[in-house]
Amino acid sequence: MALRLIVHAGFHKTGTTTLQKTLAAHAELLRQHAQIMLRADMVGLCEAARTYSISRSEFDLGLVKYEAALLAEDWSQDTVILSSEDLSGHMPGRRGLTDYSAAPRLAQAMADTWQSAAPGVHMNWFYTTRAATPWLASCHVQHVRAVRMTLDASEYAAQYMASADLDGIVAQIADRLTKTEVNALPLEAHGSDLTAPFLLAAQVPDAVRRQVTPVPPANTSPDADHMAARLALNRSDLSDKAWRVARKELGKRNT
């Protein structure tokens, strides 16, 4: 039987954590029907993809192909579901990146590798997307919380507006992956149950799919006061070491 491969390769801040936590929570239920592989199961490939998104070097793209080939050696079932937004590289706003322009070449490199590793493989590629305004706002929150982002929300949206054309990136990926299916899943349409399209593509029986209950939304945004405190901390003259300590303490007060 030919391998059935379902790949969820992006994008950040589109409900991905909730999707992955739902798959993890039901791994035992789904075990007989699909092998679930999340970021922890493919760290090497995710890190290679992130590295290439910064460097755009052929050497680093070669490492992506190498890690993709290694991952294929770990597939032990006829149906495999992969899910990590890092397969599209770093999120825009990190490491000088302004968009997901690395994602099409990353997808092609992985798809070509897997088609060689498993001739006859049937692949479905999925990209969860989100409307520009809420997506940019969510990205800004993530940056302010995780790195020393000093732009406010409106400044970030103005500077990174081009990065919000997620449908345009999906179209570019579809142009490259002519031998497979490429699907965009808008969060606004599928957010109540992002797992359903993946389990349908994996041909998980209806009776099993009905038992998969989405977990509560993950990575929800903190309130405005907390965000203001985070931004002020990022803009402070603290050393990076002192900033990390202060950030940790601030995070504790918000839990």
- Please check whether residue 169 is in contact with residue 101, taking contact to mean a CB–CB distance below 8 angstroms: yes
What's the whole-number mean pLDDT along residues 186-194? 90
pLDDT of residue 254: 64
**Beta carbons within 10 angstroms of residue 142's beta carbon:** 18
pLDDT of residue 6: 98
Q: What is the pLDDT of residues 87-103, one digit of tens each?
A: 999 999 998 899 999 99
Residue 20 confidence class, pLDDT cut points 50, 70, 90: very high
Q: Is the CA virtual torsion 222, 227, 228, 230 positive or negative?
A: positive
Q: What is the pLDDT of residues 146-156, one digit of tens each?
A: 999 999 999 99
What's the whole-number mean pLDDT along residues 209-228? 86
| 222 pLDDT more than 90 | no
Task: Give the distance from CA 227 to its chain's centroid.
Answer: 23
Q: At what angle do helices 43-55 and 58-72 cross, to 10 degrees?
A: 160
| 224 pLDDT more than 90 | no
| 196 pLDDT more than 90 | yes
Q: What is the pLDDT of residues 116-137, one digit of tens each?
A: 999 999 999 999 999 999 999 9
Q: What is the pLDDT of residues 39-49, one digit of tens each?
A: 999 999 999 99
CA atoms within 13 A on the CB side of 232: 7
**d(Cα 37, Cα 27) in Å, to the nearest integer?**
10
* Pick from 184-188, 238-242, 250-254: least confident: 250-254
Class of domain 4-133+164-218: alpha beta
- Please check whether residue 123 is in contact with residue 111, taking contact to mean a CB–CB distance below 8 angstroms: yes
Task: Give the distance from CA 48 to its chain's centroid.
Answer: 14
Q: What is the pLDDT of residues 153-177, one digit of tens each?
A: 999 999 999 999 999 999 999 999 9
